[in-house]
Amino acid sequence: AQSVTQLGSHVSVSEGALVLLRCNYSSSVPPYLFWYVQYPNQGLQLLLKYTSAATLVKGINGFEAEFKKSETSFHLTKPSAHMSDAAEYFCAVSSFYGKLTFGQGTILTVHP
Amino acid sequence: DAGVIQSPRHEVTEMGQEVTLRCKPISGHNSLFWYRQTMMRGLELLIYFNNNVPIDDSGMPEDRFSAKMPNASFSTLKIQPSEPRDSAVYFCASSLDRGQLGVESPLHFGNGTRLTVT
């Protein structure tokens, strides 16, 4: 069985500040991990993915995430927030055939 | 690349009516997923097809829900009869599954169908 827990349903940062969105996973097999972003009235877009290669994964729009097996974490970070980063972010874990289990999502608000 | 195409974008119907949601996956993708998104339950996987065959339908909530994939380029999700608690955004997603153990396969999502049942 797999599960994902996103800590914090809402995160608010100032423009230019560090963004940190937390994700912890549970998986009985080596996981594949993903971060997706959802803008209003749109579907989910892939930000980045971890597939057992490098533990530090770089994605689009300046985001990156680090896989830490000892902590079962896959936190998403961005050094400097931009207004356009405001959206809902979902962490997801995949089984061997690609079925995704999503976390509850974290809404990121960026203040000027 | 046209992406995953869903129709309609919005559907408003009365309780008891039949609703059909449609999805065209990305050409060449062999896996298709139907998800439902609500504020209360987040994103829930309803059903998963691989090579047009339903593999996992454990998320389909009730017999009122049914899904088909008659060919590689089309899938439908039908609710009959619809109820107000079915109101949600329904997403279709597709991916290329190379069938090897441990191979990741990112999902590509459509823009969803917002269903309102009154």
pLDDT in tens, A39-83: 988 899 999 998 877 889 999 999 999 999 999 999 999 999 999
So what's the pLDDT on residue B102?
45
pLDDT digits (tens, 9 = 90+) for B21-68: 999 999 999 899 999 999 888 899 999 999 999 998 989 988 999 999
Which tens digits make up the pLDDT trace of A15-26?
999 999 999 999
Q: How far apart are CA B74 and CA B110, in angstroms?
A: 13
Q: Supply the Cα-derived Rg of chain B in whole angstroms.
A: 14
Give the whole-number percent of chain A exceeding pLDDT 70: 97
Q: What percent of chain B has pLDDT over 70?
A: 92
- Using CB atoms within 10 Å of the CB of residue B110, give its burial: 0 to 12 exposed, 13 to 18 middle, 19+ buried: buried
Q: What is the DSSP letter of B25?
A: P
Enumerate chain A positions whose Cβ falls within 8 A of a Cβ in B.
30, 32, 34, 36, 41-46, 49, 51-52, 90, 94, 96-105
Averaged pLDDT for residues B90-105: 73
Return d(Cα A39, Cα A44) in angstroms, integer: 8
**What pLDDT is stored for residue B68 in this prediction?**
97
A65 neighbors A91 (Cβ within 8 angstroms) = no
pLDDT, chain B, mean: 91
Task: Tell me the shortest Cα–Cα distance from B16 to chain A, in angstroms.
Answer: 26
Output A42 or B8, whichever has higher pLDDT: B8
